[in-house]
Structure 1
Amino acid sequence: MSIRCSGAGRLISLASMVTAALAVLAVTPAQAATAQAPSAELGILVFHGDDIRQYSLDCGPDDGSHPDPRTACGQLRKVDGDLTTLRPGADPSCKAPETDPVDVEIMGTWNGMITVFNERYPNPACAQASAGLVVPIH
């Protein structure tokens, strides 16, 4: 089993997300044969000030509590689930000093591989520009 990790984040919530991901993987062979697993099952946590939002995102079929799973899964498919593409980019808002940070944690599986992503964006505009298709930023 491979693990892809990016960044540093809140250890308590990360530990609970690892536990949840391992529970997803604890499927008996009989269950696996009768039910086709989605290509991705991800939990997304967004921390902005005192606001904490949690979303689920399943790809294949595209579903979950994410407000637009089809668009998010489409973006992830374009980059083969590489969550490092959600890191802050060249957008001018990402060059600003950290004034209103947004922390994002993503944990789950992509095509059978456990994947973990943690990032702190300096402000909501940078978070939206960098991860807005996959991570709902309000």
Structure 2
Amino acid sequence: MRPMTRWAMTGALLTTAVAGPLSMPAHSAPAAAPASLYAPSALVMTTGHGEKAATTAPERAVTVNCAYATSGTHPDPRQACADLERANGDLDRLATLRGNDAGQLCTREYRPIVVTVQGVWRGTRINYEHTFANPCIKETQGAAAFAF
């Protein structure tokens, strides 16, 4: 091979090796999921007859998702999310939000019912438990979020 041809071949191979990958489309990493405009707000609520959640078997459990669109297995997820918004996520306040505005009278029997709420509210982890004296008090004093 002539020296000039050898230099030409070496130059062509070098150019291809360096510029070749630059001329091809780059494979990008998979795009990350877009960040949500809303902090997550998804809760699981349970209820059961007993004084403490640790010793009570849940009799009913519902879910509430209050992020962008309300959803869940709660009988009225929109009202539950509205109650949570009104209480600003303060579940102690939620337990007495309604008071007894309906004027319904409850017996003074002691048949405790415990409500638990676990999950995330506006990006903050929640683990809450409240015991009502009986189901009537839970329905009349507790917010609609607890009516399930």
Residues 70-109 of structure 1 correspond to what in structure 2 (within 5 A)?
A: 70-87=78-95, 91=100, 93=106, 96-98=108-110, 100-109=111-120
Q: Secondary structure at the match of 1:66?
A: coil
Q: Tell me, which stretches of 5 or more residues in structure 2 are unaligned?
A: 1-30, 51-56
Q: Which amino acid aligns with 1:52?
A: E
Q: Which amino acid aligns with 1:83?
A: L
Q: Secondary structure at the match of 1:44?
A: strand
| Bigger relative contact order, structure 1 or 2 (CA pairs below 8 A, ≥6 apart) | 1
Number of equivalences? 106
The answer as to 2:42 corresponding to 1:30 is no
**Deviations 1:31-58 (CA, angstroms, capped at 9, x unpaired):** 3x25556641000011037770010000
Alpha-carbon distance in 2 for matches of 1:47, 1:132: 17
Alpha carbons of 1:51 and 1:71: their partners in 2 closer, same or farther (altered >3 Å)?
same
The answer as to 2:58 corresponding to 1:58 is no
The answer as to 2:128 corresponding to 1:126 is no
Q: Which amino acid aligns with 1:57?
A: V
Alpha carbons of 1:70 and 1:38: their partners in 2 closer, same or farther (altered >3 Å)?
farther
Residues 106-121 of structure 1 correspond to what in structure 2 (within 5 A)?
A: 106-121=117-132
Pick the structure with greater CA Rg: 2
C-alpha displacement of 1:96: 3.0
Alpha-carbon distance in 1 for matches of 2:94, 2:83: 10
Q: Tell me, which stretches of 5 or more residues in structure 1 are unaligned?
A: 1-28
Alpha carbons of 1:63 and 1:72: their partners in 2 closer, same or farther (altered >3 Å)?
same
**Deviations 1:85-137 (CA, angstroms, capped at 9, x unpaired):** 133586464x9352x21111100111100112101111111111232400124
Alpha-carbon distance in 2 for matches of 1:54, 1:132: 16
Q: CA RMSD in A?
A: 2.8
Alpha-carbon distance in 2 for matches of 1:123, 1:129: 10
Alpha-carbon distance in 1 for matches of 2:64, 2:80: 8
TM-score, normalising length from structure 2?
0.60
Alpha-carbon distance in 2 for matches of 1:124, 1:38: 33
- Percent identity among equivalent residues? 25
C-alpha displacement of 1:71: 0.7
TM-score, normalising length from structure 1?
0.64
Q: Which residue of 2 aligns with 1:7?
A: none
Q: Which residue of 2 aligns with 1:13?
A: none
